[in-house]
Each structure stands twice: as structure tokens, then as C-alpha cells.
């Protein structure tokens, strides 16, 4: 904590008073700056102060920095800064960046944090035009926000901030707009589009692969859906490997990636699906043999893999929509809060299961020596569990002793424990509703960090991590695909339809490879074009007709798939124009006119600057 010098504080307040006052041209008479306008004088002052090294960062450490940043001259300093010092500050003092983001958030209003008088925002003389100075201030505000989120590592550094501080950071309006701006990039939306497509196809294709083989014995459909499942596996595996390799430059991010339970779920899903698909392929040769019986181990594998696939789907939808994120988090929070309750419930149910076993001793005809009754612990536990759900047999409690046990069970379990369970679930859901929006934004931040890391990895081809990615991903995917294709070709049934099977096998394999090339070709194309600042409405075609056709297909998928993905995931910033959490890609006529006018003003400013430089050279 630093104390601002009195002289510095006086100068800042003095300059702010000049900016806030109606400083006219006549008041400049008698000074040597009469040939300059008031705005030019103020710009010279602001630019001079901005040139002081680490000024804004130092002001954040001063006591009462909120009052300092409320001064008009400091607001102008914030607008003129580019925030290049923000990443080191966030790594060392994340709590100071919270103050900075809150200050920038005040500039997101139409009056740019109070720098513009509300009277200037009103149309004059029935015209919808806005003053040029207002447009320039708003343009500087937009440039500041863009300069923040366009820093490559901003989300990567933000993602490893301690979770309590991160939840506080992500709910600041400035950060919400940064997340929305990053989510509108075409690489992000293209990756989201492919995520949606593959997550929709994967459960259906895996389920159909098992059903058509084990139930319908349809080899043709098995070949088709097994290739589709393999294409999904290749996508998920490449995506996970790219993300892990992209974190090699940061130890904290790499540890966070490795220890993430959701990443473990993804890898368990991939591993279990590969192993299950292999077991299904092994049974393909004997599917029509007499006496063929589905192995119990294969059924267990199908069940486990299905559970992992559904958990992977939950992992994806928790960051796609706020309501879904709150629901998923409430389920997780309820399970966490139930851990001690479950211990008590297991002890109580186990005790009553033992009591029921002792009651069987008093039952008529029970003689263990003659084998007339059995004491099965699992059977008693099933009976107790069914009693907890309201299903019981009156014959088990025909005696007075048995009825007393029944009353005790219904009182302790049915009235007390189950009501406690409902109370725990209600409390957990209320907690999830209060912190759920923050959790959703935190997951969206981590997704943005993942996407930007993968995008940088695809572009930096002279980087060691890119070489590692190519050397690791291609052999792994190629070996798995080759082994799966070889096993399928080896185990095709010999029932007289070999030619049809081989034709279906070749067509489905080619389609799988085409889908994989289309996916990663689109992602690579979009990342390169976006980094080269190519307009999203412009397509630059170079090379031969094959290259032109492929890039055109990539562009069409990225453009329309991106629009679809934006409508699905929506935005996180809540404003008056965006209360329904939806994204509208089309601007209104007034917004288009305003953009054109702003471009015109910026063009005039650039031409004046060029004219001044030419005059100086002359």
C-alpha cells in the first residue's frame, strides 16, 4: 500500500477541474497556446502523463485508489493506456486487477464513466447524429477493451487465479464483455460448432454400434457406426492432446490441466470407448455362430462407457448455458454435501438389515441345521432399501417385536433421514443458484483459455510445442485408427457377403478420414485467416482450384457453423439490449449508421495527422 504525494494529488485534481470546467477559447488569450484548441491542449497533457512509466499500475497500489481513479484526468489516462502491464500484475497481485477491471467497467456505459455529459448523448434538432467527440471517446473505450482481450495470454493467466478471486473477477462487466468478444471469434465459434456436432454424434454412434451388432446382427450398420465412433474418438483425442501440449509453457496451467477431474473424465471416456470398440470388433467374426452368447464382461464395459460418455456430455453443456451450468453444479454440490449424510444412512440401513436377519430366526420353520432358512446379507440390504422407498411386506412384521422394528424404521429413516436429505438438496440448490452464475462464467473463462492456447499452438509452427504436437498426435491417432481398421477388416464375417462388407468398409473409412480432414482443416484455416486480420466477410483464395475449393468449404463451415454456435452458447454479459442471453449477428440500421459515421470520423482524424506530418517535413 502506497501513499500518494500531496503535490501529485493536487496536480491530478487541478487537471481534472480544468477538464470538467467549460474551458473556452477566449480563456486561452494571453498564453502561447492560442493557436491550439482546448482539446489539443488537454490531449498533450494526457499523453504527457501517460508516458510516465508504470503510473497506472502504481496508482492501483495507493490507498484510496478508487477516489483517485474517479478523477477525470485519470479516467482519460485509463482510456489512453493499452494495459500491457496487466498480465504481470495479474500473476502477482490478482486482487489489484479486480480494482482495475471494475474501473474499466464504468466506462462501458454510454457516458464513458461520466466523461460525457448526458446532454451530448441526446439527438439535437430532430437529428440522430451524435457529436464527433462523443464518438471518439466511445471508440477509445472500445479500443481499450479490445486491447485487453486481444492479449494472447489474458485468459490463460486469468484461468489459474485462485478460485475465490476468479469467481469475483468473472462477474465484473468488463471481463464479461471480454469473454463475449473472445467467444465471437471465428476460431472459437468454429471449435464450438465442432464440439456440438461431435458431442451430438458420439453417444448416438456408440449406442448404435453395440445395438446393431449384439441385437440385430447387422454387420453393414455396425461398420458404418463404428467408423463414425472412431472419427469422434480421433477428434476428442486430438483436442485433448492439443490442449495439454499448449500448457507446457506454464507450470501452473499444466498442473491445473492434469489435475482437472473433467479432463480425467474425457480421457476415461476415450480409453473405455477404444477398448469397448475393440471387444465388439473381436466378436464380429462369431456373431452368427450357433450358441453365441454376449459376454458379461462386454455388457459391463458397455455400461461403464455409457456412464463416461454421459458425464463427458455434462462436462460440455456446463459451459454452454447458464441455466444448465447451475443445474449441473447443483447436482455436484448436492453430492458433496451428502457425504456425511450418506455415512449415517449406510450405518442406519446396515443396522436395520442386521435386525431383520435376527427377526428371521424367530420365524416359523427356520432351522439353519436343516437348511430351512438362509441368512443372506445382500438380501436383507435389498429389503431395507425397498422399505426406505415405501415397498415392504407385512408378513415380515407379523409379530409384535417385528412391528416395533417397523415403526422404528419408518420413524428414523422415513421421517427424519429422508427429510434431512430433502433439506440438504434444497440448501445445495439455493447455494448453486447464488454462486452458479459465477461458476458458469469461470468455466467460460477456462474454455476461452483453452481455445486461445490451442489457436496459438496451431499458428506457431516454429515453436517447439507445435513440433511436439505433430510428433505426438499424428502417430497416436494414426496407430489407433490403423489398428481399428485392421481389426475390423480381419474380423469381417465369411458368410458370402464379403464384397459388400469390404465396399461398405472402404466407403465408411474414406468418409471418416474426410470428416477428420474437414474438421481440422477448417480450424487451421480459420486460425490463420483470423490472425492475418482477414475480414470475416472476405475470402482470399490462392493456389490451384483444389486449394480454392477446399478453402471455400472451410470458410462456409466456419461462417455458418460459427453463427449457429453463437446462437447456442449465447453471451454472459447482461445488458438492457441482451437480457435474454442470446446473440444477434445482425446490426440495426441505426448501429450501422453509427459505425459508418465513426469510421468517417476516424478517417478524418487519420488524414489530419498525415497532413500535419507532411507539413512538418515540408
Tens of pLDDT along 327-349?
Answer: 888 888 888 888 888 899 889 88
Contact predicate 33/10, CB 8 Å: no
135 and 23 fall within a common domain: yes
pLDDT tens digits, one per residue of 567-590: 877 777 765 444 433 333 344 444
- Mean per-residue pLDDT over the chain, rounded: 75
| pLDDT tens digits along 598-607 | 555 555 555 5
How many Cβ atoms sit within 10 Å of the Cβ of residue 166?
Answer: 21
Tally of CB atoms within 10 A around 171 = 16
Residue 448 lies in a domain: no
Predicted confidence (pLDDT) at residue 298 exceeds the cutoff of 80: yes
State pLDDT tens for residues 122-178: 655 544 455 666 777 777 788 888 888 777 788 888 888 888 888 888 888 888 888
| 126 occurs within a structural domain | yes
Residue of higher predicted confidence among 361 and 503: 503
Give the lowest-confidence range in 41-50, 264-273, 380-389, 482-491. 482-491
Kindly give, in sequence order, each residue whose CB lies less than 8 Å from that of residue 324, ignoring residues fewer than 6 positions away: 317, 318
Same domain, 266 and 387: no
196 shares its domain with 343: no
- Kindly state whether residue 207 falls inside one of the protein's structural domains: yes
Q: Can you read off the three cell numbers belonging to residue 402?
A: 417385528
User: Per-residue pLDDT for 541 more than 70?
Assistant: no
**Predicted local confidence at residue 607, as pLDDT:** 59
What integer is the mean pLDDT of 423-430? 87
| Domain around 210 | 186-317+460-569
Q: Based on the domain organization, do 361 and 468 belong to the same domain?
A: no
Q: List the grid coordinates of 280.
A: 465388439
Model confidence at 475, pLDDT cuts 50, 70, 90, reads: low
**Are both 559 and 479 inside the same structural domain?**
yes
Average pLDDT over residues 272-280: 86
| Cβ atoms within 10 Å, residue 72 | 19
Label residue 612 left, alpha or beta by phi (over 0 means left) and psi (-120 to 50 means alpha): alpha
428/388 Cα distance (integer angstroms): 22
Same domain, 10 and 157: yes
| Residues 97-132: b if buried by 16+ CB within 10 A, e if exposed | bbbbbbbbbbbbeebbbebbeeeeeeeeeeeeebee
The answer to whether the beta carbons of residues 270 and 240 sit under 8 Å apart is: yes
Residue 170 lies in a domain: no
Q: Are residues 49 and 149 in the same domain?
A: yes
pLDDT at 269 over 90: yes
Is 149 domain-assigned?
Answer: yes
Percent of the chain clearing pLDDT 90 (strictly above): 4
| Residue 227, pLDDT above cutoff 50 | yes
Higher pLDDT, 272 or 406: 272
Residue 489 lies in a domain: yes
270 in helix, strand or coil? helix
Please check whether residue 174 lies inside any domain of the structure: no
Domain tally, the chain: 4
- Give residue 253's pLDDT band: very low, low, confident or very high (50, 70, 90): confident
Domain shared by 356 and 390, yes or no:
yes
Asked whether residue 127 falls in the same domain as residue 257, the answer is no
The pLDDT confidence band at residue 288, using thresholds 50, 70 and 90, is: low
**Rounded to an integer, what distance in angstroms lies between the CA atom of residue 336 and that of residue 431?**
12
Mean pLDDT, residues 262-285 taken together: 85
Phi/psi class of residue 490: alpha, beta or left (left: φ > 0; alpha: ψ in -120 to 50)? alpha
User: Which is higher by pLDDT, 94 or 150?
Assistant: 94
Does a structural domain hold residue 577? no
Q: Are residues 466 and 543 in the same domain?
A: yes
Domain match, 408 and 539 both: no
Q: How far apart are CA 228 and CA 115, in angstroms?
A: 57
Residue holding cell 422399505?
A: 387
- Please check whether residues 273 and 238 belong to one and the same domain: yes
Amino acid at each position: 500500500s502506497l501513499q500518494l504525494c500531496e503535490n501529485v494529488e493536487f496536480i491530478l485534481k487541478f487537471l481534472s477541474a480544468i477538464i470538467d470546467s467549460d474551458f473556452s477559447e477566449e480563456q486561452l488569450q494571453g498564453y502561447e497556446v492560442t493557436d491550439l484548441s482546448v482539446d489539443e491542449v488537454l490531449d498533450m497533457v494526457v499523453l504527457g502523463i501517460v508516458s510516465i512509466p508504470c503510473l497506472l499500475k502504481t496508482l492501483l497500489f495507493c490507498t484510496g485508489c478508487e477516489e483517485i481513479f474517479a478523477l477525470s484526468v485519470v479516467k482519460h489516462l485509463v482510456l489512453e493506456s493499452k494495459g500491457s502491464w496487466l498480465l504481470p500484475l495479474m500473476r502477482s497481485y490478482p486482487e489489484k486487477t479486480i480494482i482495475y477491471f471494475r474501473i474499466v467497467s464504468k466506462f462501458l456505459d454510454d457516458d464513458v464513466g461520466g466523461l460525457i455529459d448526458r446532454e451530448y448523448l441526446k439527438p439535437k434538432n430532430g437529428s440522430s447524429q451524435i457529436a464527433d467527440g462523443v464518438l471518439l471517446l466511445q471508440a477509445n473505450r472500445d479500443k481499450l477493451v479490445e486491447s485487453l482481450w486481444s492479449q494472447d495470454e489474458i485468459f490463460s493467466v486469468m484461468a489459474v487465479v485462485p478460485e475465490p478471486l476468479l469467481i469475483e473477477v468473472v462477474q465484473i462487466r468488463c471481463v464479461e464483455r471480454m469473454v463475449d468478444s473472445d467467444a465471437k471469434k471465428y476460431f472459437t465459434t468454429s471449435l464450438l460448432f465442432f464440439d456440438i456436432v461431435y458431442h451430438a454424434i458420439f453417444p448416438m454412434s456408440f449406442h448404435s454400434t453395440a445395438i446393431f451388432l449384439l441385437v440385430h446382427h447387422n454387420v453393414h450398420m455396425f461398420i458404418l457406426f463404428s467408423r463414425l465412433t472412431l472419427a469422434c474418438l480421433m477428434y476428442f483425442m486430438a483436442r485433448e492432446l492439443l490442449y495439454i501440449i499448449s500448457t507446457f509453457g506454464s507450470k501452473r496451467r499444466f498442473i491445473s490441466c492434469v489435475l482437472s477431474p473433467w479432463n480425467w473424465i474425457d480421457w476415461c471416456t476415450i480409453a473405455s470407448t477404444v477398448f469397448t470398440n475393440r471387444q465388439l470388433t473381436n466378436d464380429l467374426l462369431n456373431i452368427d455362430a450357433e450358441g453365441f452368447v454376449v459376454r458379461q464382461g462386454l455388457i459391463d464395459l458397455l455400461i461403464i462407457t455409457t456412464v463416461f460418455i454421459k458425464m463427458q456430455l455434462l462436462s460440455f453443456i456446463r459451459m454452454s448455458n447458464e441455466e444448465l451450468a447451475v443445474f449441473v453444479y447443483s447436482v455436484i454440490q448436492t453430492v458433496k454435501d451428502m457425504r456425511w449424510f450418506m455415512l449415517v444412512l449406510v450405518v442406519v440401513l446396515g443396522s436395520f438389515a442386521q435386525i431383520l436377519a435376527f427377526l428371521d430366526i424367530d420365524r416359523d420353520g427356520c432351522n439353519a441345521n436343516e437348511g430351512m432358512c438362509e441368512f443372506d446379507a445382500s438380501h436383507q440390504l435389498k429389503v431395507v432399501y425397498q422399505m426406505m422407498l415405501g415397498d415392504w411386506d407385512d408378513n415380515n412384521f407379523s409379530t409384535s417385536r417385528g412391528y416395533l422394528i417397523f415403526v422404528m424404521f419408518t420413524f428414523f429413516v422415513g421421517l427424519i433421514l429422508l427429510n434431512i436429505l430433502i433439506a440438504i438438496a434444497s440448501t445445495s440448490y439455493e447455494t448453486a443458484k447464488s454462486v452458479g452464475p459465477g461458476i458458469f462464467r469461470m468455466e467460460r473463462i477456462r474454455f476461452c483459455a483453452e481455445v486461445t492456447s490451442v489457436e496459438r499452438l496451431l499458428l506457431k509452427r516454429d515453436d517447439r510445442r507445435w513440433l511436439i504436437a505433430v510428433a505426438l498426435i499424428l502417430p497416436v491417432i494414426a496407430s489407433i485408427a490403423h489398428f481399428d481398421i485392421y481389426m475390423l477388416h480381419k474380423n469381417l464375417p465369411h458368410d458370402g457377403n464379403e464384397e459388400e462388407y469390404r465396399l461398405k468398409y472402404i466407403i465408411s473409412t474414406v468418409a471418416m478420414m474426410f470428416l477428420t480432414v474437414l474438421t481440422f482443416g477448417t480450424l487451421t484455416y480459420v486460425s490463420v485467416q483470423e490472425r492475418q486480420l482477414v475480414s470475416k466477410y472476405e475470402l482470399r483464395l490462392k493456389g490451384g482450384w483444389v486449394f480454392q475449393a477446399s478453402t471455400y468449404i472451410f470458410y462456409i463451415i466456419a461462417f455458418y457453423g460459427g453463427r449457429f454456435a453463437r446462437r447456442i452458447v449465447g453471451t454472459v454479459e447482461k445488458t438492457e439490449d441482451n437480457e435474454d442471453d442470446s446473440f444477434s449477428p445482425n446490426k440495426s440500421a441505426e448501429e450501422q449508421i453509427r459505425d459508418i459515421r465513426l469510421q468517417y470520423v476516424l478517417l478524418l482524424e487519420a488524414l489530419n495527422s498525415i497532413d500535419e506530418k507532411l507539413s512538418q517535413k515540408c
